[in-house]
Amino acid sequence: MRVLRTLVEARAWRRAAGATVGFVPTMGYLHEGHLELVRRARAENDAVIVSIFVNPTQFGPKDDFSRYPRDEARDLALLEVEGVAAVFMPTVEEMYPEGFATAVDVSGGLTSVLEGAARPGHFRGMATVVAKLLSIAGAERAYFGRKDAQQLAVVRRMASDLNLAVEIVPCDTVREPDGLAMSSRNTYLTSEERRAAPALYAGLRQALALFEGGERDPAVLREAVRARVVVEPAFALEYVSVADPETLAELDWVKGAALVSVAARLGRTRLIDNVTLGERG
Ligand code: AMP
């Protein structure tokens, strides 16, 4: 497994790699969720490249950039076991050299709501770094988790709008046995918070059960999520949304598919999760 630290090394690796390359962008501190993306990429491509880069421009001033967990040695050992061909681990200076002045701004409703409203500038930073990484990796396919459903929607829009020659492949959310969506940020949780954390997914499952029983009123679905989450008083709910999975516009009635997403604070940790009702795109 090659560890690539510079753009020059990464481009040279791509030129020498097999016919098809699968790319998995991450911020490191890897867990089974990331590794499932890697396994899917391996199954569908000749070679896999993973990036590990904690991108400062997608964190706001009050976000957790400086305390975001990092463990380079452990991450590399996990990726080696998975048969990854190359890991791209650039420095911040390599990605944003002096004079860097370009941003990718996916405008409109896709980025102004939900995570975009809670974290101003987040999607601009994310879309810019993903565009850069896709350009550097030169992959045929790039793998993204449904755990970050809005990120996936923004990346799909950007790849389509910029005619990027890469297929964006969505991958299912990997969960702990008690339902909590795996996340590098789960490491922030105290043991008491960790015990309460599965209420988020339990709330989403309530909405799913109601939908399967025929309920189509977003207000009822939202209330079911809220009621289950607040059973755990440690949770401070930020939003519950029932939206169109592609445009993220809030629905006044569920006719086709709907994305139910939720964000909540548990102590100092902000958790997000989602489920799709109906057919997924
Ligand atoms: P991150 O390192 O958190 O930026 O995530 C890197 C990629 O892994 C993103 O495409 C995430 O959506 C995906 N991912 C993170 N957690 C999970 C999970 N529990 N299941 C599936 N994919 C995930």
Q: Which of 171, 200, 228 is the last residue of a domain?
A: 171
What pLDDT, on the 0 to 100 scale, is given for residue 36? 98
3-state secondary structure 93-154: HHHCCCCCCCCCCCCCHHHHCCHHHHCCCHHHHHHHHHHHHHHHHCCCEEEEEHHHHHHHHH
Q: Relative to the CA of 182, which ligand 1 atom is closest?
A: 19
46 lies in some domain: yes
Of the candidates 13, 24, 25, 34, the residue annotated as catalytic is 34
What's the domain range around 18? 2-171
Q: Are 150 and 116 in contact (CB under 8 A)?
A: yes
Q: Count up the domains in the chain and report the number.
A: 2
Query: Of all atoms in ligand 1, which is nearest to the CA of residue 174?
Result: 20
Q: Are residues 149 and 206 in the same domain?
A: no
Question: Based on the domain organization, do 255 and 213 belong to the same domain?
Answer: yes
Residue 266's pLDDT is: 98
What global pTM score does this model have? 0.98
| 237 Cα: distance to centroid of ligand 1 (angstroms) | 22
Please check whether residues 17 and 129 belong to one and the same domain.
Answer: yes
Q: How remote is the CA of residue 58 from the centroid of ligand 1, in Å? A: 15
Active-site residue, 34 included: yes
| Tokens coding 248 | 């993220």
Q: Which residues lie across from 24 on neighbouring strands?
A: 50
- Which residues form ligand 1's pocket by a CB distance below 6 Å? 26-27, 33-34, 36-37, 144-145, 147-148, 171, 173-174, 181-184
Ligand 1 mean position, distance from CA 134 (Å): 16
* pLDDT tens digits, 110-137: 999 999 999 999 999 999 999 999 999 9
Per-residue confidence (pLDDT) for residue 281, from 0 to 100: 79
For residue 236, what pLDDT is reported?
98
User: In angstroms, what is the span from residue 32 Cα to ligand 1's centroid?
Assistant: 9
What percentage of the chain reaches a pLDDT higher than 70? Answer: 100
Alpha-carbon span 226 to 11, nearest angstrom = 48
Q: Is residue 37 located within the same domain as residue 149?
A: yes
CATH of the domain at 49: 3.40.50.620
> Is residue 280 scored above 90 in pLDDT?
no
Residue whose CA lies nearest to ligand 1 atom number 14: 145
